[in-house]
Amino acid sequence: MGAFHDRATTMTSPFVHVLFVTMVLAGAGPAATEPSGGPCPKPPALLDPPPTAAAIVRALREAHRLRIVALGSSSAEGTGASRPEHAWPARLEAILDARFPEDTVEIVNRGKGGETAAENLARLERDVIALAPDLVIWQVGTNDALQGLEPEEVAARVREGIRRLRALGIEVILMDPQWLPDPGRDAVVERMSAVLAGVAIEEGVAIFPRHELMEAWAERGLVAPSELVGPDGLHMTDESYRCLAERLADLFPPGASDVRAGE
């Protein structure tokens, strides 16, 4: 991937949080072909079809370049993947590179295993803002939930991060915790997912419903639980990272960069 554009063409249009709930669960165009595994399932939509993801489309139309930072803990870093290129940030970049061959799409992985929202926030300036991204996909909440941190404290840290980023014209997508096969642990992370959904509504940002998506795959028999979560009962696998990347790619509809600004 080549050098990136300056901040003059960054995205400023707000996302509506329900936009991505529907787009992820319904699908927004064909998924890119991967070298192994079949197409990952798209469970039925829970909400009406959304409008176009205006901020993403605008960045591609105006500059034909997009820089994304993946912020988070082990799920962003890629723990559980057999190789770094099998983590979802690398897979998503490969899909988008193929989808937009005339554009520059760069995804910088700034995941760090074991971190909480507060620890993500502590390195926001150095690891995210300094890179001048257009978009941050912030995977957050799992470690906070499993460590028993107070949900409102977590929500406050996430709100602060969102506000700091958006004040600089950087858009945000929150990614909630993964589904877990152990019912007791899953109940804890599911509650955190609900808290993050509330933050997304309050702040007017998107949320990628990873927990809901993985739960639907497991409960409907679309993907085997052993393919979603590894032997440790916590971290994702090559297959679930692949599926996650395919559904994240739905947020970047084919043809988004084909129309020039103002048309």
pLDDT for 111-144, tens place per residue?
999 999 999 999 999 999 999 999 999 999 999 9
Q: Kindly list the structural domains of the chain, giving each domain's residue range(s) and its CATH number in brackets, ordered by start.
A: 7-29+47-249 (3.40.50.1110)
Answer whether 76's CB lies under 8 Å from 114's CB.
Answer: no
Q: What is the pLDDT of residue 44?
A: 58
Query: What is d(CA 152, CA 126) in angstroms, rounded to the nearest whole number?
Result: 25
Q: What is the pLDDT of residue 79?
A: 96
Q: What is the pLDDT of residue 41?
A: 80
pLDDT for 220-258, tens place per residue?
888 899 999 999 999 999 999 999 999 888 888 776 666
Give residues with Cβ within 8 angstroms of 225, minimum separation 6: 181, 218
Q: Is the pLDDT of residue 109 over 90?
A: yes
Q: What is the pLDDT of residue 13?
A: 36
179: part of which helix (H) or strand (E)? none
Cut 0.75: pTM above it: yes
Q: What is the pLDDT of residue 43?
A: 67
| Phi, psi of 24, deg, nearest 5 | -70, -45
Percentage of the chain beyond pLDDT 90 is 62
One-letter-per-residue 3-state SS of 90-129: HHHHHHHHHHCCCCEEEEEEEECCCCCHHHHHHCHHHHCH
